[in-house]
Chains A and B, each alone.
Chain A
Amino acid sequence: MDCNECLKINAPQVVHETIDGETILLNLDRGIYYSMNDTGALLWALIENNGRKNIIIEQMIGLFEGDANQLATLIKSFFDELLHEGLVISCDPCDETPPNGQNQFIPSDSSEGDRVFEAPLLHKYTDMQDLLLLDPIHDVDDDGWPVAKPN
């Protein structure tokens, strides 16, 4: 993987929203729904703001405590998964201008270097026809739709 490479969200096929700290995504072409844990949501926000992989990895290493190489490996693996799922696409960093002239986006609730790194996770829901038949009040577990109540 070329770490100077740039990633950008595969819009308009992919739509996303962050609700109460959780990022949810939908690949409209494939009808697949995804959700991310907090670390995934943070990485997604960084991709949206400035998709340069090396800058994102540097920022993450600055934000979290732990082994830098291990963090970088986990983050690169997450980028690969996003690419594989078609949620992001590669782009030429020379073609991408950081939004608002920024190149150092730091989420507002982040304190440098004092957080324990949790591996980014992408939850994928492919059986949407079944999930849409769930009663979102009564057939779901405590996390709410689309997590079905255990049988």
Chain B
Amino acid sequence: MHIGVSKSNAFPTKEQELLLQAALLNGADGKDALAQWLDAIDFEGEMDYGSFRLLPLLFHHLKRQGRDLPIMSRLKGIYRYAWFKNQQLFFELGKTLNTLRQAGIQTMVLKGAALTVQVYRNHAIRPMADMDILVPASQAVEAYDILRAVGWSRQSGSCFEKDLKYRNATGFKNCSGIEFDLHWHPIKDSSIIASQKRYDELFWQSAVPIEIAGEPTLAPGLPESLLLVIAHGIWDNAVPPIRWVADAVFLIRFFQAKPNWQRFILLVRRYNLPLQMIQPLYYLEETFRAAIPPFVFEKLKQMPAGIPQKVVSRSCMGETKDAWHKMIQIIPGIVEYLRVSGDIEAAKLLAGFPAYVFYRMHNKKLNDVKGYIFSRVGIGS
């Protein structure tokens, strides 16, 4: 395959933005963006995987607009390909959801699977490599044991007990190569695990019933999904995570039918994520005409954000590039640990932080850990 994997940050490049606009905007705006995108890219050349994943949506949008292009038949093929792979994924994971339900474990599907059923209502236009299944944190160990018993194995070699303490999810794979992430907290940002322990109930309270391949499960409410899409999407990733833009635009269009921005604001406050939300929401409004009421920005801006929050926010958005920011990158590690563990006493911090660094380094040797700390403060390689 000529589909490359490149390093990028959370916001689209100019070319990716044109593709998103071509796939999301109607009328002259979408048409102009498509013409510019086709001029800017070489369809026969290499394409980043983040853009490739948007092509089924582009095909769907162009067909609805009555557009025809020379590349249409190949876009249709990519749409078929995505439909096939998503249907297979849904079918396999429907069985897993059934296994968990039979064992009395409550499940909620997050992100792509939930959006496919609730928002896109189409199995092709949102390609997925895996599925995200949330279980109550109190049932995570039980779920882990059941999944291993029915043939799923962990993708990471880390200690599951430590994962439970410091992370929100772990990946599983079966012998057919199907993958999914088992979540016990919904949001990826490990620095807010302590908040998630307190507020996960908000996700379960507002969940809505859906079916995956005929199997009953739950999906988050729309405000919860919007929070998840942005909180997850803004993390720098090897695969350009730009589809958060399409997910968020579709969700906000659904909001217009049944707006619940107050709920979204409540969630942002509880999870302490205003800085992670403001910039993406401004971007969606300015570049994709997303209908976000002004009071949402006002409320988010009024939320208190201390220095630690600013540092964590800048770090997750990949904005810590210069020497000064490298110097203070040790702070996110400490802040992250404090927020994960809730240990604010000095004695506990001294005892717990080195163990946390070891965990984050995947239990590597002492020299690697020293290297990690030195690299965080900008000394050495």
Which A residues are within 8 Å of any B CB, using their own CB? 12, 15, 17, 19-20, 24, 26, 28, 31, 33, 128, 132, 135-138, 140, 142-147
Identify which of B43, B76, B85, B87 contacts A19 (C-beta below 8 A): B76
Identify which of A31, A136, A138 contacts B81 (C-beta below 8 A): A136
A26 neighbours in B (Cβ, 8 Å): 84, 87-88
> Which 8 A-B pairs give the minimum distances between C-beta atoms?
A144-B77, A145-B77, A28-B91, A135-B1, A12-B214, A136-B81, A145-B81, A144-B74
A135-B74 CB under 8 A given contacts A17-B123, A26-B87: no
A137-B76 CB under 8 A given contacts A17-B124, A26-B84: no
B79 at the A interface (CB under 8 A):
yes
Shortest Cβ distance from B7 into chain A, in angstroms?
22
Cross-chain pairs A/B with CB under 8 angstroms, 23 sampled = A17-B83, A17-B123, A19-B124, A20-B63, A28-B91, A28-B213, A31-B88, A128-B84, A132-B84, A135-B1, A135-B2, A135-B3, A136-B81, A137-B2, A137-B3, A137-B52, A137-B78, A138-B44, A140-B77, A142-B73, A144-B77, A144-B80, A145-B81
A12 neighbours in B (Cβ, 8 Å): 213-214
Which of chain B's residues has its CB closest to A24's CB?
Answer: B80
Shortest Cβ distance from B70 into chain A, in angstroms?
10
The distance in angstroms between the C-alpha atoms of A145 and B79, with both chains bound, is 9
Which B residues are within 8 Å of any A CB, using their own CB? 1-3, 43-44, 47, 52, 63, 73-81, 83-85, 87-88, 91, 123-124, 213-214
A146-B80 CB under 8 A given contacts A20-B63, A31-B88, A137-B74: yes
Shortest Cβ distance from B348 into chain A, in angstroms?
50
B78 neighbours in A (Cβ, 8 Å): 136-137, 144-145
The distance in angstroms between the C-alpha atoms of A143 and B2, with both chains bound, is 19
If over half of A's interface residues share one DSSP class (helix, strand or loop), that class is named, otherwise mixed; here it is: loop
Which of chain B's residues has its CB closest to A144's CB?
Answer: B77
The distance in angstroms between the C-alpha atoms of A68 and B214, with both chains bound, is 40
Let me know if A24 and B77 touch, CB within 8 A: no
The distance in angstroms between the C-alpha atoms of A19 and B83, with both chains bound, is 11
Which of chain B's residues has its CB closest to A33's CB?
Answer: B84
Shortest Cβ distance from A35 into chain B, in angstroms?
8
The distance in angstroms between the C-alpha atoms of A135 and B74, with both chains bound, is 11
The distance in angstroms between the C-alpha atoms of A149 and B83, with both chains bound, is 21
A137-B47 CB under 8 A given contacts A17-B124, A28-B87: yes
The distance in angstroms between the C-alpha atoms of A147 and B81, with both chains bound, is 11
Let me know if A140 and B74 touch, CB within 8 A: yes
The distance in angstroms between the C-alpha atoms of A15 and B78, with both chains bound, is 18
Let me know if A144 and B83 touch, CB within 8 A: no
Let me know if B76 and A20 touch, CB within 8 A: yes
Let me know if B79 and A19 touch, CB within 8 A: yes
A145-B63 CB under 8 A given contacts A28-B88, A137-B43, A140-B74: no
A17 neighbours in B (Cβ, 8 Å): 83, 123-124
A136 neighbours in B (Cβ, 8 Å): 74, 77-78, 81
B47 neighbours in A (Cβ, 8 Å): 137
The distance in angstroms between the C-alpha atoms of A113 and B277, with both chains bound, is 59
A31 neighbours in B (Cβ, 8 Å): 88
Which of chain B's residues has its CB closest to A35's CB?
Answer: B80
The distance in angstroms between the C-alpha atoms of A12 and B123, with both chains bound, is 14
Identify which of A15, A135, A143 contacts B87 (C-beta below 8 A): A15
B214 neighbours in A (Cβ, 8 Å): 12
A132-B85 CB under 8 A given contacts A137-B2, A137-B47, A143-B77: yes
B83 neighbours in A (Cβ, 8 Å): 17, 19, 24
Let me know if A143 and B73 touch, CB within 8 A: yes
B44 neighbours in A (Cβ, 8 Å): 137-138
A24 neighbours in B (Cβ, 8 Å): 80, 83
The distance in angstroms between the C-alpha atoms of A26 and B123, with both chains bound, is 12
Shortest Cβ distance from B128 into chain A, in angstroms?
14
